[in-house]
Amino acid sequence: MELVIGTKKWSTWSLRPWLVARRAGAPFTETLIALRQADNQTEAEIRPHSPSGLVPALKVDGLVIVDSLAICEFLAERFPGKGLWPADPAARALARSAACEMHAGFSSLRGECPMDLSAEPRDVELSEATHKDIRRIVALWSDLLGRFGGPFLGGPEWGIVDAFYTPVATRFRTYGVRLSDFGDDGRCGEYAARLLAQPEFLDWERDSRA
């Protein structure tokens, strides 16, 4: 397997499947392409690897799989014993729903608070649209943590849904978001800290700052 990814301090889309591949123990090589290069250089470097012109892309068995969720689903099928989705059908269904909601939604949070692992944490003034996104995330996390008992969204094991919300946890840290201001009783803040303490994320973060 070859996983083609973008600049580690910025690329949330690359971070998610990279975390999943590492947690699954998948043997893969990493091809890193610098994002935000001038004169369309980034796209020119990506195109030989990815027909969409975007990263991440997973090259395996003569296939090129693009899109972070598609790559994670492939890894879940390739490594069924790694518990990347919860075993319980209800937990699995809601974990998938939460991952898809992150994959397709929260556009204001994404735009106003881009992931930047090189930035020092700071307090910023956020729009009401972003406040709405944060309230929804707190409600979602609270429901799943309460419903399945934590410490992760699908229950006791870290999985794909947690990979999808790891970039969110970095955003909350970077932009000084206090989840208690959005209805968190403490569990969501603890969960966000837990995501950022996972060994795979710490490896990614260390690389991003190298």
pTM of the predicted model as reported, rounded to 2 decimal places: 0.96
Mean pLDDT of the region 147-158: 98
CA distances from 24 to 21, 115, 166 (A): 5, 24, 16
Mean pLDDT of the region 62-69: 97
Across the chain, what does the average pLDDT equal? 97
Q: Is 89 exposed, middle or buried (0-12, 13-18, 19+ CB in 10 A)?
A: exposed
Give the tens place of pLDDT for each residue, 29-58: 999 999 999 989 999 999 999 999 999 999
Confidence of residue 113 (pLDDT cuts 50, 70, 90): very high
Instruction: Please report, rounded to a whole number, the percentage of residues in the chain having pLDDT higher than 90.
Output: 98
63 - beta bridge partners?
60
pLDDT at 127: 98
- Please report the beta strands in 17-175, taking only residues with DSSP state E, as ranges in sequence order: 29-33, 57-60, 63-66
pLDDT at 205: 98
Distance CA 185, CA 144 (A): 14
180 - beta bridge partners?
none
Confidence of residue 112 (pLDDT cuts 50, 70, 90): very high
Confidence of residue 6 (pLDDT cuts 50, 70, 90): very high
Residues in the chain: 210
Distance CA 164, CA 179 (A): 18
Give the tens place of pLDDT for each residue, 165-198: 999 999 999 999 999 999 999 999 999 999 999 9
